[in-house]
Amino acid sequence: MNPVGKPGKAGSLLAVEVALARLLEMAEASKIRERERLPLARIQGRVLADDLISTLDLPPWPNSAMDGYALRLADWTGEPLEVSQKIFAGNAPQPLEPGTCARIFTGAPVPAGADCVEMQENAEVLADERIRFAEIMTPGQNIRPQGQETTVGELILSAGTRLGPIEQGLAASLGCAELDVVRKVRVAVLSTGDELVEPGQTLGPGQIYNSNRVLLCSWLQRLGCEVIDAGILPDDLVTTRARLGELKDVDLILSTGGVSVGEADFLGIALREEGELTLWKLAIKPGKPLTVGHFRGVPVIGLPGNPASTLVTFALLARPYLLRRQGVKEVEPLKIQVPAGFVWPKAGNRREYLRGRLESGRAIIYKNQSSGVLRSAAWADGLVEVLEGRTLTEGDCVGFIPLSEVLS
Ligand code: AMP
Ligand code: MG
């Protein structure tokens, strides 16, 4: 870490992956250990606390994949067979009478003794109600064997898995009514700056509306965090100290703005006085300055204030940090390689995350990539990664991180 005022090697920037690795290490060291048991319907967006091990075979018995007829292949000589029972899903069948077949429907248990299901389209019902099978049949056809999906004792979901509709469905299929999940991370969101005014109020001279607050609060909720909306912190040291002091029972203070090396750096002063502050200069654009530290032991991450910088640094650094604190293993978003549909003639010394979208399989970028322009991200459906030191011509490969990957 480079303490403020001692940037290490002159002008050196911290690589994004190094910053991420450090943040993840910090998150790992302060992982949330508490857990709570919740009904299945309420685990959406939460993180599984223990491995989920199957206590069932799925399916619990062989069942039919088709509407048709179950038979024992050895009984079939080419002559029509009599129907000895009818089995619907939910029925408990009798063993198959030798020399007969059973009418069977999708999902119904295959009777003991049967080793094949023929679909009804390949069977002819004769006038005397016997069944003639026309096609050659093979053992096991159209039967879903017991334990095809899962057997007792198998690991189904690992601790640290984020839970969504699919995991909820899977747990339900195993009969789980409740699961232990990691307690929510409590995150206090602070906006800083005298210029900020909440939407709904009238703008005075020099004022702008606070957009980061709602953006972060709602994003954090999507990530399964408990959000403490700590409002706007004015550019004033006494208030800053007092307000930070109120945020005791939280796992993270997440602030935006206010920790540039400028004169209005009151958050920075308060952290240095009663905690620790390191200011990272990241090789990332938008979003160079990132604050990491603590206030009286409560971890603090300070994101840059420009809305597009807030978005990019939250997506790439704060989000993985918060997920890891909940014990999630896979915290980095999916990144695909796509051809660039734009040119990038001038190599930069920072890794750029351009707000872009895919058009005919190529990444194109919003016309204005200023860090103050949030509209670029609303237009975009992904972050286009241009590595430091790179120039691009159309068709060159670039990384593309879908926004849908990081927004939840
Ligand atoms: P700062 O890091 O405080 O110097 O802020 C950098 C830029 O981001 C300035 O133009 C601020 O006005 C702007 N900014 C800071 N916080 C917010 C916010 N919560 N919403 C919108 N813009 C902000
Ligand atoms: Mg400010």
At which residue do the structure tokens 């619990």 appear?
60
| pLDDT for 283 beyond 80 | yes
What pLDDT band is residue 5 in, cutting at 50, 70 and 90?
A: very low
Residue 133 has pLDDT above 60, yes or no: yes
pLDDT band at 3 (very low <50, low <70, confident <90, very high): very low
Lowest mean pLDDT across 209-223, 267-281, 296-310, 394-408: 267-281
In whole angstroms, what is the distance from residue 61 CA to residue 95 CA?
13
Does residue 307 come out as left (phi exceeding 0), alpha (psi in the -120 to 50 range) or beta? alpha
Yes or no: say if 256 and 212 are a contact pair by the CB < 8 Å rule. yes
- Does pLDDT of 8 surpass 50? no
pLDDT the model gives residue 262: 61
As given in the structure block, the two tokens for residue 177 are: 């009514």
Q: Which ligand is nearest the CA of 257, by number?
A: 1
Instruction: Note the ligand closest to the C-alpha atom of 210.
Output: 1
At residue 265 the predicted structure's pLDDT band, cuts being 50, 70 and 90, is confident
Residue 11 has pLDDT above 90, yes or no: no
Residue of minimum CA distance from atom 15 in ligand 1: 305
Q: What is the pLDDT of residue 258?
A: 78
Q: What is the DSSP string of 237-296?
A: HHHHHHHHHH--S-SEEEEES--SSSTT-HHHHHHHHHEEEEEEEBSEES--EEEEEEET
* Cα 261 to averaged position of ligand 2 atoms, centre (Å): 11
Backbone angles phi, psi at 46, to 5 degrees: -95, 175
For domain 63-144, say whether CATH 3.30.360.10 is its number.
Answer: no
Least confident stretch, 79-88, 154-163, 241-250, 260-269: 260-269
**Residue partners of 92: CB distance under 8 A and separation at least 6:** 109
CATH fold for the domain made of 16-34+183-325: Molybdenum Cofactor Biosythetic Enzyme; Chain A (3.40.980)
217 CA from centroid of ligand 2 (Å):
19
Instruction: For 338-387, write each residue's pLDDT tens digit.
Output: 999 999 999 999 999 999 999 999 999 999 999 999 999 999 999 999 99
Contact 130, 82 (CB under 8 A): yes
Mean pLDDT of 178-190: 98
Query: What does the pLDDT average to over 67-75?
Result: 97
Q: Three-state SS for 377? A: helix
Mean pLDDT of 374-403: 98
Range of lowest pLDDT (124-133, 171-180, 221-230, 252-261)? 252-261
d(CA 240, CA 7): 25
CATH number of 37-54+157-182: 3.90.105.10
pLDDT digits (tens, 9 = 90+) for 305-337: 999 999 999 999 999 999 999 999 999 999 999
> Could you say which ligand is closest to the alpha carbon of residue 279?
1
| H or E segment to which residue 165 belongs | helix 165-173
pLDDT at residue 6, rounded to an integer: 40
Longest dimension (CA), the chain: 97
Domain boundaries along the sequence of the chain: 16-34+183-325, 37-54+157-182, 63-144, 336-405
Tokens of 126: 């004769």
Q: Is the pLDDT of residue 263 over 80?
A: no
340: CB partners within 8 A, 6+ apart: 362, 363, 384, 392, 393, 394, 395, 396, 397, 398
Listed residues: CB within 5 A of ion ligand 2: 193, 257-258
Across 4-32, average pLDDT: 82
Q: What is residue 134's predicted lDDT score, i.e. its pLDDT?
A: 85
Mean per-residue pLDDT for 186-198? 96
Provide mean pLDDT across the span 149-169. 98
Residue 46 predicted with pLDDT over 50: yes
- How far is the centre of ligand 1, averaged over its atoms, from the C-alpha of 305 (Å)? 4
Mean pLDDT for the chain overall: 94
The Å distance, Cα 133 to ligand 1 centre, comes to 75
Options 3.40.225.10, 3.30.360.10, 2.40.340.10, 3.40.640.10; CATH of 336-405: 2.40.340.10
